[in-house]
Structure 1
Amino acid sequence: MAKPSRLPALHTLLYFEAAARHLNFTAAAAELGSTQPAVSLRVGQLESELGVPLFTRRHRGVSLTADGARLFEAVRQGLDLIGEVTGEILARRRQPLLTLATDFGFAAYWLMPRLPALREEMPELEVRIITSQQAIDLRDEVIDVAIAFGEGHWPGCVAEKLLPESVVPVCSPSFLAASDWRRETIPWAEVPLLHLERPTPARWMDWPDWFQRHRLPDHHPGHDLTFNNYPLVLQAAMSGQGVALGWLPLVQDLLAGGQLVSLVDAPITTPRGYFLVLRESTRLTGVIGRFRRWAREVCANGTQEQAGPGGTSA
């Protein structure tokens, strides 16, 4: 169906719709906060523009002509649709929004599996997750809360440790099965290692740290691979490319599901870890306070799980 060259003015259609719904110009004027002559004038202008009468004027009121009835139905459908869409938009604006900043690894391997539980706890909450390889800047007013890896010191912020750094080497079961190692006598100098690139100064454990902690000789890279985010490190480990440092609980589900196996029974734990970080000015009310309580409870219930960097820190 061809579209008209132009639509009548919206305010004119609103006057017409009210008059057609009431079949009374005076009642329409009262609803619109106008006057009966003004309604009559608007309707007359619309009839002149269309070139047809829309109402049959009677001594006691008006009735719609056939053309008026068709136009009234079209206008009503249009206004109903506009009302429905604007209602949805307003409802979404009223829905509480929490913008959470974290790193790739934490988002992928800790947060994502727990989002259903968060939705169950706060079904009305809309969560916006921002991930970054770079340091998270909490001066960005868009961010409500961060879960960041570090030592607990962020200027102008308060930080509460959720999960400590706890690290164990991991690899795929097939990689381990294809080797002739014994866990007690792993030839680390021959093992292809998977590295997570870290900034300077160092903010989380790397392989040199791990070897030093275990009083092992320095490893001389041969077939090592280095990645700039933690999910890629774990993907390489699961595909049998080598051995990675596994931060708990980021790898906890992968270990439980058999995608990865640990090569050492006792992980190394440090004072670092994942912290819930808020600006000092943040009020612990509303969705921020509720999310903080939820995160604390989930981490407290998983006291056996440990944590580490997912590829970035704040």
Structure 2
Amino acid sequence: MEPISMANGNWRAALPALAVFEAAARHLNFSRAARELGATQPAVSHQVGWLEAHLGCRLFHRRHRGVSLTPEGQILFEAAAATRAAVERARDDIRALSGQRPLTVATDYGFAGDWLIPRLGAFAAAAPATELRIVASQFLADPLADPADVAILMGTGAWPGRAAHLLFRETVSAVASPALLRVPAGPADLARMRLLHLEPRHPAPWLTWRGWFAAHGIDRPPRPGDATFDTYSLVQQAAIAGQGIALGWHPLIAGALETGRLACAAAPPVTTGLGYYLLENPARRPPGLAAFRDWLLAACRDSEAAGLSPPPPSRCS
């Protein structure tokens, strides 16, 4: 195949594949890139393969549990990411000229799907003039990189150059389908059961099963027979389906507890020094920021006052 060249115009034909490559390189996972793009994993793999064939080099190392960038892939990703950021800044500038710029909120899949999205109707009623754009990713390297205006992340609260507002302390219970917890199960009982893990990141910015068991004085590393998922929504779905025991973050599991889809095991929850924080860049004051911050902080206080974060001990121990 003829290599891509700026001179012969073939770069235009590569633009769709470059967009797919950028998403795959940002997530380092073809399946997550496919979900973002509304495509299938084979379609992402095909586009990346087409681009590799035309460039005459490998862009990814394919590994059993994912992919990593080759040196050539890293060079292309840096260019593609810079282009994406520039285009999105231009889009936002154009919208700003016509008063249409949305407030972009970056967060993880769990907080977006289980807490924020169910409450967006209330925000729309409170601030009808503010348009939100939600950007969700399991791993955010820079929480306030373009195109995000604000971010909601789990961490210690120490992000240099960012104003951090605590929303919830990290409080985690062992949860499962009520059918799986007909007999009360303490930490030692849970250690013998099938565990559902959230795909790890090192260092993990949240409590892992190993850390949860350590807080109860038990060493329980991952074992064959456990299951691992790349988003928290899949962990919850597997737990609701009775496939094992999951870690449940309060208040993300409040809805599932209220409806009886999940129940807490007979083990005390674990509270860590981490928490969900709203992060702002003091140098940026986009329209709608104050309205969103004030609404979010009030909604989090209301959740705690209602006993949804964490739930009462009778429901969680």
1:154 CA drift (Å): 1.7
Q: Distance in 2 between matches of 1:185 and 1:205?
A: 16
Asked if residue 252 in structure 1 is aligned to residue 233 in structure 2, the reply is: no
| Equivalent in the alignment of 1:276 | 278
| Equivalent in the alignment of 1:112 | 117
Q: Which has the higher contact order (CA 8 A, sep 6+)?
A: 1
Mapping 1:1-314, distance limit 5 Å: 93-95=98-100, 97-177=102-182, 181-184=183-186, 187-219=189-221, 221-264=223-266, 266-283=268-285, 286-303=287-304, 304-306=307-309
Q: Distance in 2 between matches of 1:90 and 1:189?
A: 53
Q: Structure 1 residues 168 and 139 mapped into 2: Cα distance closer, same or farther (>3 Å)?
A: closer
1:189 CA drift (Å): 3.4
* Native 8 Å contact 1:198 1:204 kept in 2: no
Q: Distance in 2 between matches of 1:90 and 1:151?
A: 34
* Native 8 Å contact 1:171 1:263 kept in 2: yes
Residues 172-204 of structure 1, C-alpha deviation per residue, up to 9 Å, x if partnerless?
Answer: 122224xxx333586233200001122111221
**1:306 counterpart letter in structure 2:** S
1:225 CA drift (Å): 0.3
The worse-fitting range, judged by mean Cα deviation, of 211-220 and 118-127 is 211-220
Q: Distance in 1 between matches of 2:95 and 2:283?
A: 28
**1:243 counterpart letter in structure 2:** I
* Native 8 Å contact 2:162 2:281 kept in 1: yes
Q: Distance in 2 between matches of 1:92 and 1:240?
A: 51
* Native 8 Å contact 1:168 1:268 kept in 2: yes
* Native 8 Å contact 2:196 2:227 kept in 1: yes
* Native 8 Å contact 1:101 1:145 kept in 2: yes
Secondary structure at the counterpart of residue 134 of structure 1? coil
The runs of 5 or more residues in structure 2 that have no matched partner are 1-93, 311-317
Q: Distance in 2 between matches of 1:116 and 1:185?
A: 39
Q: Distance in 2 between matches of 1:184 and 1:163?
A: 25
TM-score by length of 1: 0.63
TM-score by length of 2: 0.63
1:95 CA drift (Å): 3.9
Q: Distance in 2 between matches of 1:155 and 1:219?
A: 33
The runs of 5 or more residues in structure 1 that have no matched partner are 1-88, 308-314
RMSD, aligned α-carbons: 2.4
1:155 CA drift (Å): 2.5
Q: Structure 1 residues 199 and 114 mapped into 2: Cα distance closer, same or farther (>3 Å)?
A: same
Residues 249-285 of structure 1, C-alpha deviation per residue, up to 9 Å, x if partnerless?
Answer: 10001000011000036321112111000113133x7
| Equivalent in the alignment of 2:84 | none
Higher CA-based Rg: 1
Q: How many residues align?
A: 215
* Native 8 Å contact 2:187 2:267 kept in 1: no
1:218 CA drift (Å): 2.4
Residues 30-80 of structure 1, C-alpha deviation per residue, up to 9 Å, x if partnerless?
Answer: xxxxxxxxxxxxxxxxxxxxxxxxxxxxxxxxxxxxxxxxxxxxxxxxxxx
Q: Distance in 2 between matches of 1:184 and 1:280?
A: 46
**1:294 counterpart letter in structure 2:** W
* Native 8 Å contact 2:144 2:151 kept in 1: no
Q: Distance in 1 between matches of 2:214 and 2:187?
A: 17
**2:290 counterpart letter in structure 1:** G
Q: Distance in 1 between matches of 2:251 and 2:140?
A: 21
Q: Distance in 2 between matches of 1:150 and 1:90?
A: 32
* Native 8 Å contact 1:99 1:130 kept in 2: yes
Residues 67-120 of structure 1, C-alpha deviation per residue, up to 9 Å, x if partnerless?
Answer: xxxxxxxxxxxxxxxxxxxxxx98994245211100001000001110110111
Q: Structure 1 residues 209 and 164 mapped into 2: Cα distance closer, same or farther (>3 Å)?
A: same
